[in-house]
Chains A and B, each alone.
Chain A
Amino acid sequence: MTRLSFSVGFAALLACAIAQAAELPESIRQAGVLRLTVNSTYAPMEYRDPETNELVGLDIDLANEIAKRLGVKIVWSETPFAELIPSLQTRRADFIISGISDRGSRRETADFVDYLATGPQFFVLTENAAKSAIDLCGKRVGTTRSTSFPIEIEKWSRQNCEAGSRPAAQYVPGENSIDVRNQLKQGRIDAAVQGSETLPYAQQQEAGKYRVVGEPFSTGYQGIMFRKDDAALREVVTQHLAAMIADGSYKAILDKYGLSANAVPQPMMNAATQ
């Protein structure tokens, strides 16, 4: 074997390897479908349109665009929030794009491709007296208990209330974001915390009812969740997401939902610091 033919052969092999990295796993390509599951109670990320009962949302749009570029269809299913991660582990879903936060505790069995900046945000009823976040020390603050926000509130309270000799903020659990807003309306809680990505929609739905207090008090990311052993799929999705950011289709989708402020410059892997 001559040195030339060896180099050509090696280059060809390398080209194949690279090309392989940017392709869909065989099983998905064969089936022609991506199986995805969402917790469709989280407007505007994924929810059922009250008029048409169609599954809509920012995550739905992003996923549809990615699937189009991959040349496959999506078969959607719905589960409660707590079932999302098990769905990934049991391979019921190929990946999870469902408003799920990138967190260290979740990275034991999964990798995140972060695609949206987010952070817990205080909000109150418009007529509430609170002007800045510090006014919420000693008050009852509610949030969805299945999220990472209860811990965020506790941390914020320790750093901002108790550190300044103010009474701690009291965490009150809620079942989902609607339940939390209900408790706010009834006066069971004085303030609520939701991901900053959900607030423009909530304010649009009930104009003038809520008022945001301060800035998101912690930054994090929403990530697309992949199984640790699924690097190929993760790579190909990341590539297409990067392309969408580059050609403006990502921004267009975010604008549609009023979330251009939450854009990320490029997809990041496991970038959240918690």
Chain B
Amino acid sequence: MREADTLAGGFPDISGMTLAHQAHWRRWLAAAAILVVLVAIGRAFANGQIEWAYVGRFLTAKVILEGIVNTMVMAVLAMALGIVLGVVVAIMRLSPNPVLKSVAAGYTWLFRGTPLILQLLLWFNIALVFPTIGIPGLWSARAVDVMTPFLSALLGLGINQGAYTSEVMRAGMLSVDAGQYEAAQAIGMGRLHALRRIILPQAMRVVIPPLGNEFIGMVKATSLASVIQYPEVLHNAENIYYANSRVIELLIVAGFWYLLVVSILTPSQMLLERRFARGSLQIAR
């Protein structure tokens, strides 16, 4: 035992030495190079064939501001519809009932399998196939009166989103440990009860990052509704440049607002993630 206590020679005691500061000079070099490129791009834009006076003039024009409000309203509503549909369809997809399973699979296939712009155009022009819609005997209306640009955009965007959201929700629910469902069953919960109280709340943690991503995509997908005359910001910017031919200037105006909205949404997603990480040691930074 005394032999083991004696330490071998040749290993100096360096516990008293201080750690030198790392210069990271390569990082500084890379940063400088990137800065040079950004400045060059900025100058090209500043000196290019862009009349910046028009950008400034229309940046806060009334129709542009109305447009971005309409963009946000549609993004929120369509995303809400998409999430509701997504949860319902995901639950159907994971159901033991083969009818529900097939309907869910069919819905996802159809609405993920066709381009969004096609779906928007079909909803808007549905009166070509169904001139009147309604419940026989109770109520009917002309399809064109019901399918306003707003409703067509909402249905087109929301139902399309639901197909994608259902896959995200399904993945989220599958990610919850199977033991959670069994524990819920063990205290007498039925399937839907367990989903609502135990599984879905835990799935939210996994589901928020991709859904946040989808929402940011939705904000920009609303621009497709311009072709069915929904007055969101791109549509309104287009109207201005159809009149004054300043295409790039107005596109920059619209682009600015999209960028601003997304920049605000990104940290909000962080906050939402923290809220659903309650009870977990792994809080995202």
Using a CB–CB distance below 8 Å, which chain A residues touch chain B? 82-83, 85-86, 89-90, 105-106, 109, 145-147, 151, 172-175, 179, 182-183, 185-188
Residues of B contacting A86 in the complex (Cβ-Cβ under 8 angstroms): 247-248
Given A82-B241, A146-B242, check contact A182 B247 (CB 8 Å). no
Q: Given contacts A174-B229, A186-B144, A187-B142, is CB(A145)–CB(B125) below 8 Å? A: no
Listed by A's residue number, 25 A-B pairs whose Cβ atoms lie within 8 Å are A82-B238, A82-B241, A82-B247, A89-B49, A105-B245, A106-B245, A145-B229, A145-B238, A145-B239, A145-B242, A146-B242, A147-B242, A151-B243, A172-B229, A175-B227, A175-B228, A175-B229, A182-B125, A182-B128, A183-B144, A186-B125, A186-B127, A186-B128, A187-B131, A188-B144
Proximity string of chain B (205-248) to chain A, C-beta cutoff 8 Å, 1 when within and 0 when not: 00000000000000000000001110000000011011111011
Instruction: Check B244 against A187 for contact (C-beta < 8 Å).
Output: no
B111-146 near A? 1/0 per residue, CB < 8 Å:
000000000000001011001000000000011100
The CA of A151 and the CA of B49, in the complex, are separated in Å by 28
Query: Chain A residues near B228 (CB, 8 Å)?
Result: 175
Q: Which residues from B are CB-within-8-Å of A183? A: 144
Contacts of A109 in B (CB 8 A): 245
CA distance A145 to B236 in the complex (A): 11
Which 3 A-B residue pairs are closest in the complex by CB-CB distance?
A186-B127, A188-B144, A146-B242
B247 nearest in chain A by CB position: A86
Sample of 15 more A-B contacts, CB < 8 Å, known A145-B229, A173-B229, A175-B228: A82-B238, A82-B242, A82-B247, A89-B49, A109-B245, A145-B238, A145-B242, A147-B242, A175-B229, A179-B227, A185-B128, A186-B125, A186-B127, A188-B127, A188-B144
Task: Give Cα distance in the complex from A186 to B128, angstroms.
Answer: 6
List, in ascending order, chain B residues with CB within 8 A of A85's CB.
245, 247
- Per-position contact with A for B240-259: 1 when CB-CB < 8 Å, else 0? 01111101100000000000
Q: CA A109 – CA B125 in complex, angstroms?
A: 38
Instruction: Return chain B residues, CB-CB under 8 Å to A172.
Output: 229
A189 (CB) vs chain B CBs: closest residue: B144
Q: How far is the CA of A89 from the CA of B247 in the complex (A)?
A: 11
Name A187's contact: one of B49, B144, B245 (CB within 8 Å).
B144
Residues of A within 8 A of B229 (CB): 145, 172-175
Q: Return the contact of A146 from the options B142, B143, B238, B248 (Cβ within 8 A).
A: B238
Among A90, A151, A186, A187, the one with the most B-chain Cβ atoms within 10 Å of its Cβ is A186
Q: Point out the residues of chain A lying under 8 angstroms from B241, CB to CB.
A: 82
In the complex, A187 Cα to B132 Cα: how many Å? Answer: 11
Task: Choose among B142, B228, B245 the residue with the greatest number of A CB atoms under 10 Å from its CB.
Answer: B245
| A92 CB, min distance to chain B CBs, angstroms | 13
**Cβ-neighbour of B49 out of A90, A147, A173, A185 (below 8 A):** A90
